[in-house]
Amino acid sequence: MSMEFVMALFLGIGLSATCGFRIFVPLLGLSIAAHAGQLDLAYGFGWLGSWPATIAFAVATVIEIGAYFIPWVDNLLDTIATPAAVVAGTIVTASVIGDVSPLLRWTLAIVAGGGIAGIVQSSTVLLRGTSTATTGGVANPAVSLSELGASIVGTIVSIVVPVVAAILVALILLLIVRKTRRPRRQSG
């Protein structure tokens, strides 16, 4: 296993996690980075770095960001965003892992990329649902702003320093597991 492969996997995992916060921010970041020559896309994924894709991702990003700042609409979007985040996480991971067999690429993309995006997205759904239930949606814009910040910072860190992104993803997953794990009852 080459260091290039490991770094590409870390990049894919980092971008996939950020797809769980916002779907289009990491896709836009990936597209911009490909234009700037900061990363190479795997064979068959060059379209992600095309101008039409960059423009489409930019428009979709603006719409997604705006929609998440509208209470109740944000909860409605989660029904669409959860499966879309898994698909986006799978695509970004597959797009950066090159020079491996298609079986390995897609297995890693689906399990690591799609899985991590789904876990992060599911946790944001729970957080937003809790916010809606406890504040009537008043705090949802603050939740949306923090998710947007995490997506932007996570995308940049993933592209610039993939190792740090992988460590941050591991810490986020650990936090999610700790927050969602139910305490076991003591038998008497």
pLDDT tens digits, residue range 128-167?
Answer: 888 889 998 888 889 999 999 999 999 999 999 999 999 9
The percentage of the chain sitting over the pLDDT mark of 70, rounded to a whole number, equals: 96
DSSP state for residue 12 in the 8-state scheme:
H
Residue type, 25: V
Give pLDDT, residue 69: 85
pTM of this prediction? 0.89
Give pLDDT, residue 182: 65
Rounded distance between C-alpha atoms, residue 98 and residue 44, angstroms: 10
Q: Where are the domains of the chain?
A: 3-169
CB 151 within 8 A of CB 24: no
At 175, is the pLDDT very low, low, confident or very high (cuts 50, 70, 90)? Answer: confident
Averaged pLDDT, 84-106: 95
Rounded distance between C-alpha atoms, residue 118 and residue 141, angstroms: 22
At 185, is the pLDDT very low, low, confident or very high (cuts 50, 70, 90)? Answer: low
Rounded distance between C-alpha atoms, residue 76 and residue 159, angstroms: 30
Averaged pLDDT, 103-122: 95
Give pLDDT, residue 75: 76
| pLDDT of 98 higher than 90 | no
- 182: region left, alpha or beta (phi > 0 left; psi from -120 to 50 alpha): beta
Give pLDDT, residue 128: 85
| pLDDT of 181 higher than 90 | no
